[in-house]
Structure 1
Amino acid sequence: MWALCYSHWQLNWLQTPTLFERTQLVAGTVETIQPKGQSASRLIVRLKTLNGQALSPQPRVLLSWYGEQTPPRVGEYFQTITRLRLPHGLHNPGTFDSARWLLGQGISARGSVTGTLTQQAHSGIKRTRLVRHIKAVTDDLPAQPWLLALSIGDRSGLESRDWAMLRGLGISHLFAISGLHIGLVAGLGLLAGRLSGNRWIATALAASLALGYAWLAGFSVPTQRALLMLLLWLGLYCWGRFWSGRRIVLMTMMLLLAANPWLALDYGFWLSILAVAALLVTTGWLGGRRLWRLQVGLTVLLLPLVMLLFGGVSWLSLPVNLVLIPLFSLLLIPLLLLASLLLLPAPELSVWVFSLLNALFEPLIAGLHWLNDSVSPWIWLSAHAQGVGLVILLLPLALLPRARGLLVLPGYILCWLLLSPSGWQVRVLDVGQGLSVLVTQDKQALLYDTGNRFNSGFNMADGVILPLLRNLGIDKLEYLVVSHDDQDHSGNRDYLAHTLPIAHRWGAWSDGQHCRAGQQSHWGELTLTVLWPVNISGHSNNDSCVLHISDGRLSVLLTGDIEARAEQALLATGQPLAAKLLLSPHHGSNSSSTAAFIDTVNPDWVVHTAGFGNRWGFPSSEVMARFKQQGVGQIITGDQGMVHLVADGSRWRLVQRKRPGAWYHKLNTWLNGPKPLE
């Protein structure tokens, strides 16, 4: 009940009239800055006012900053104009769930800005000044990104190659300030305090050091969890009371979720809580108190969670952690803590310690990169492989006392594996304002268009297409058809060509087979027929490759961005256009989907590939009215997420009729729908 009340309280400001329909004047304080490329950043801002009206509670928003102007610094108050959007994310199997992540961080809206109207310089709180001092001292050190990650919890300097290495070797936890680091710092304080022979002094010193390190890290969510658990334990230790580890973990969860129920949406929350639970199981039930036994127990017990959250496993994680955890615990983190403590009283000595850390980190990180690149320890697992792996890992539950009831989980997974749909399938991917369609039969795949690629570095290949292919266990493409050269259709063409083996390249390729009407190919039980263009007109949209795919009973028509003129010319050729499934031309623009074209194709379903809240208003109301008049079922990818249809005899079976997922995927429906209790 509290979680429902809290969510309504935090989201109530989203019901402000015209909040998402026009630009808004917002003012707030910068809490965090995450650099994204040379001229882009992401600001997490605590909003104070909206159009001059004070907000209570003060929501957190994520603002993407573009342009050459220097963004405000952490702690500064500024005023700007932005167009706000819901925390709505792309919805595809294997895709990062950004909507869940945003709300898990307490962020209830997002937007983009290019400058400020007013900006008040802020002298900065003590932590902000100290952070700037640490950044200045380490600015010339090559290992600065790693030192900042371990000292102040700032991992924004790590590149995609670094993240791939951390994931591949299973050591991401070493560079996120959490239980290991807070516990180590407190342990050092406890050891030093015991020299006095007074338990109260030892406890106070341990708590002070842990609080100081958590303060330096900005009291991030993982730090809060570890700190609260530690303070509970220290309090019990100080008063001579004993609580079981399970009771401390449950009390920590209760306090954190009472303060912020949205933490239940944060994967990191569950990962850290379950890591502690696995540690308790290893030391209690399995009798593992040596480092190697603890690490083996943690690795095995957390394996199901790692597979589910990250879609794969690292076979090298165990030996690498056995080496690195003692190295970090006994050498690197104590030195880093010493350098930070000496920064103000003895800056020259602090610089020397930071230089020593740099000399240690440079060869260490280079060696880890070499190891990851040489042996490629990360193994991506398809959804079916994950299911089989979970069944194998969960079966030993039958050996645990009072845990046999959990055997229903392996049974459920086996039913899911056996009931997976068969036959050829069409998946219209949710790639925002763009197009990408995956057609599969067995483990063979055809991809029609590749979605967009942005200057910020984000692209639909890494964000949507490749995760989906891995989820399906597909490691090559039989066909990659690029309809035309528009960025939202061809943006990832070359990247995919370098990433995946591709047997046939059709359409807008410099070294592929250009689409021409009459071109035909047989692919398994399917026939691929190019219906358009007849000749290149020089109009990019109307030169789109129109592809008809059929098994003799059921078909799909992929139309790219053709407009009314191309539709009329296509009708004039007299080619058979009938298809039970149609992708609306040009994302549902009113310049396409003429009544004559719809009548000739005569589809049962039409999919509008339009991004959520796109600025062009696709699909247009006129186009939707024309399809409705013909009695055609309509689906919009921006609202539904990925549209998955399976060939079922002579009809298409829609796998999911409504946008799947939890409530945070349906905020738009909540905002615009009736609320009978209000």
Structure 2
Amino acid sequence: MTLILVFEPLAILSDSFWLSSFAVAALIFWFSFVKLSVQFPHSWLNWIFKLVHLQLGMLILLIPIQLVLFQGVNITSIFANLWAVPIISFITIPLIMVSYICIFWYAGQNLLFGIIDKSIILALWPLAHIERYWLDTGHLPIIITGLSWLIILCWQFSWFVQYKLLIIVLIYWLITTMKQNYLVLWRLIMLDVGHGLAIIIEQQGKVLIYDTGISWKKKSSANSTILPYLRYHRLTPEGIILSHNHIDHTGGVGSLLLTYPGLKIRSHFDKKNHFPCHRGIYWQWQKLYFEVLWPIIDQKRSHNNESCVVKISDGYHSVILSGDIEKTAEKELVRLAIANLPANLLQVPHHGSNTSSTMAFIQAIKPQYALTSVARYSRWRLPSDK
């Protein structure tokens, strides 16, 4: 772990890093404290029993990290592992090693690569069948699992006697963490959806979603990020505000509507089932006040410069969500709504591109904080330096 973090410090943000680390720790723990003593007369039965014993340990011990990372668990994964591990261990990996030897024999290497691809497809075959057994959870199962493992460790290493005060502090921290969410008046969360935008406006367990990230093939940011976040925090979405009709902002709408069919959508699109989102629209949701500053009603398109710019306020703090507006729209906003522009926080327009964030616009808003939604390895290298 140390060497990995020395050469790649950002690996600590990777799910695979934590899964691999916990898997190694789980193997050590399982073989140290849950030893296999049963022996069969046939060696092949011993081999199968050891494999099942190993996979059972991995299933049980990796449940906590799965709950933390993915807010859910699939109990049937043991069958996928029992199928995939022998194929990957005895076919895929040996063939990969052989392919390095055949580096100058192109025909042989291509043949091996073809077999390797087929072995991986074969190993992944059960995944499509066990996907339906995925169980979504929230934060409570994580806390319960954490307490359970704390009890196991305290019992195994006699920590009840040696570290009484530490255990009391940990339990107190877990209880107070559960109560913290109820003390928050409201909050705005910008989710990490790469090159796209998805913002959660939360109050009293209900949320509005401003933009829904990107989509690709049969998945979207809603599947990978928005829905897991809502389930983890046990939040109920009541509506969606779409800034403009670009795929990196509307990609998750379909998945969200499949999960929550009654969601109300507000946009500047030409769709009959959408509520309007143009200058002059006001509404109250929970104890928050929403005002649409842009676009003007006459604009019929829904591209960057026609993004639905919304100001949210509780009477003390205010936020401006600006979508992807560029210099032209910013200039018009300063001209039409300069008195309503000052805010504490600004969602930086157009992912921090140099097409936006003019000096006049920034000076009119005077934000104390600014949030930019960008991808780590964006080909556009956003946010721009200028």
TM-score by length of 1: 0.42
Q: Is the 8 A contact 1:533 1:543 kept in 2?
A: yes
> In the alignment, which of 597, 602, 620 is matched to residue 384 of structure 2?
620
AA aligned opposite 1:618: L
AA aligned opposite 1:391: L
1:605-658 CA distances to partner (integer Å, 9 max, x unpaired)? 122333335444433334xxxxxxxxxxxxxxxxxxxxxxxxxxxxxxxxxxxx
More helix by share: 2
Q: Is the 8 A contact 1:279 1:298 kept in 2?
A: no
1:277-310 CA distances to partner (integer Å, 9 max, x unpaired)? 22542348xx999989999877655543443354
> In the alignment, which of 429, 443, 451 is matched to residue 213 of structure 2?
451
**How many Å separate the matches in 2 of 1:571 and 1:328?**
60
Residue matched to 1:578? 342
**How many Å separate the matches in 1 of 2:329 and 2:143?**
46
Q: Is the 8 A contact 2:26 2:58 kept in 1?
A: no
What's the offset of the Cα at 1:600? Answer: 2.4
What's the offset of the Cα at 1:550? Answer: 1.1
AA aligned opposite 2:159: A
> In the alignment, which of 242, 251, 254 is matched to residue 491 of structure 1?
251
Residue matched to 1:543? 306
1:45-89 CA distances to partner (integer Å, 9 max, x unpaired)? xxxxxxxxxxxxxxxxxxxxxxxxxxxxxxxxxxxxxxxxxx968
1:567 and 1:306, CA in 2 relative to 1: closer, same or farther beyond 3 A? closer
What's the offset of the Cα at 1:451? Answer: 1.7
Residue matched to 1:277? 29
Q: Is the 8 A contact 1:541 1:562 kept in 2?
A: yes
Residue matched to 1:611? 375
What's the offset of the Cα at 1:401? Answer: 4.9
1:79-106 CA distances to partner (integer Å, 9 max, x unpaired)? xxxxxxxx968x9xxxxx54x64xxxxx
Q: Quick check: 1:524 aligned with 2:293?
A: no
What's the offset of the Cα at 1:482? Answer: 1.0
What's the offset of the Cα at 1:412? Answer: 4.3
Q: Is the 8 A contact 1:482 1:493 kept in 2?
A: no
Residue matched to 2:237? 477
Secondary structure, in 3 states, of the residue corresponding to 1:621? coil
AA aligned opposite 1:620: S
Q: Is the 8 A contact 1:452 1:492 kept in 2?
A: yes
Q: How does 1:284-295 map to 2 (within 5 A)?
A: none
> In the alignment, which of 387, 406, 415 is matched to residue 143 of structure 2?
387
What's the offset of the Cα at 1:490? Answer: 1.7
Residue matched to 1:261? none
Q: Is the 8 A contact 1:283 1:289 kept in 2?
A: no
1:610 and 1:485, CA in 2 relative to 1: closer, same or farther beyond 3 A? same
**How many Å separate the matches in 2 of 1:328 and 1:423?**
48
Residue matched to 1:104? none
1:433 and 1:369, CA in 2 relative to 1: closer, same or farther beyond 3 A? closer
Residue matched to 2:194? 432
**How many Å separate the matches in 2 of 1:479 and 1:459?**
18
Residue matched to 2:320? 557
1:315 and 1:432, CA in 2 relative to 1: closer, same or farther beyond 3 A? closer
> In the alignment, which of 174, 185, 208 is matched to residue 423 of structure 1?
185
Structure 1, gaps ≥5 residues long: 12-86, 92-96, 102-264, 341-360, 623-678
Aligned residues: 333
Residue matched to 2:224? 463
* Runs of 4+ with >6 A deviation: 287-298
1:536 and 1:387, CA in 2 relative to 1: closer, same or farther beyond 3 A? same
Q: Is the 8 A contact 1:528 1:549 kept in 2?
A: yes
Q: Is the 8 A contact 1:547 1:559 kept in 2?
A: yes
**How many Å separate the matches in 1 of 2:357 and 2:321?**
13
**How many Å separate the matches in 1 of 2:335 and 2:342?**
14
**How many Å separate the matches in 1 of 2:62 and 2:326?**
52
Q: How does 1:390-409 map to 2 (within 5 A)?
A: 390-404=146-160, 405=163, 407=167, 409=170
What's the offset of the Cα at 1:549? Answer: 1.1
AA aligned opposite 2:29: A
Secondary structure, in 3 states, of the residue corresponding to 2:340? coil
AA aligned opposite 2:279: A
> In the alignment, which of 332, 346, 349 is matched to residue 569 of structure 1?
332
What's the offset of the Cα at 1:593? Answer: 2.4
Q: How does 1:217-228 map to 2 (within 5 A)?
A: none
1:552-571 CA distances to partner (integer Å, 9 max, x unpaired)? 11111101112222223223
Residue matched to 1:267? 19
Q: Quick check: 1:512 aligned with 2:264?
A: no
Secondary structure, in 3 states, of the residue corresponding to 1:505? strand
What's the offset of the Cα at 1:385? Answer: 3.6
Q: Is the 8 A contact 1:484 1:508 kept in 2?
A: yes
Secondary structure, in 3 states, of the residue corresponding to 2:185? coil
TM-score by length of 2: 0.70
Secondary structure, in 3 states, of the residue corresponding to 2:276? coil
Percent sequence identity is 29
1:391 and 1:485, CA in 2 relative to 1: closer, same or farther beyond 3 A? same
Flag the structure with larger Rg. Answer: 1
Q: Is the 8 A contact 2:244 2:302 kept in 1?
A: no
Structure 2, gaps ≥5 residues long: 41-48, 95-121
1:458 and 1:563, CA in 2 relative to 1: closer, same or farther beyond 3 A? same
Q: How does 1:125-164 map to 2 (within 5 A)?
A: none
What's the offset of the Cα at 1:430? Answer: 2.4
1:384-434 CA distances to partner (integer Å, 9 max, x unpaired)? 441233224433544445233484654543343344562211112222222
AA aligned opposite 2:138: S
Coordinate RMSD, CA, aligned: 4.1
AA aligned opposite 1:610: V
Secondary structure, in 3 states, of the residue corresponding to 1:521? strand
> In the alignment, which of 342, 352, 377 is matched to residue 588 of structure 1?
352
**How many Å separate the matches in 1 of 2:318 and 2:84?**
59
**How many Å separate the matches in 2 of 1:586 and 1:488?**
11
Secondary structure, in 3 states, of the residue corresponding to 2:215? coil
**How many Å separate the matches in 2 of 1:394 and 1:415?**
17
Q: How does 1:337-352 map to 2 (within 5 A)?
A: none
1:617 and 1:306, CA in 2 relative to 1: closer, same or farther beyond 3 A? closer
Q: Quick check: 1:599 aligned with 2:363?
A: yes
What's the offset of the Cα at 1:576? Answer: 1.8
Q: Is the 8 A contact 1:283 1:294 kept in 2?
A: no
Q: Is the 8 A contact 2:26 2:57 kept in 1?
A: no
1:295-351 CA distances to partner (integer Å, 9 max, x unpaired)? 987765554344335432346678x79xx97x999xx99xx99xx9xxxxxxxxxxx
What's the offset of the Cα at 1:487? Answer: 2.0
**How many Å separate the matches in 1 of 2:384 and 2:35?**
61
1:217-245 CA distances to partner (integer Å, 9 max, x unpaired)? xxxxxxxxxxxxxxxxxxxxxxxxxxxxx
What's the offset of the Cα at 1:444? Answer: 0.9
What's the offset of the Cα at 1:526? Answer: 0.9
**How many Å separate the matches in 2 of 1:553 and 1:328?**
56
What's the offset of the Cα at 1:585? Answer: 1.9
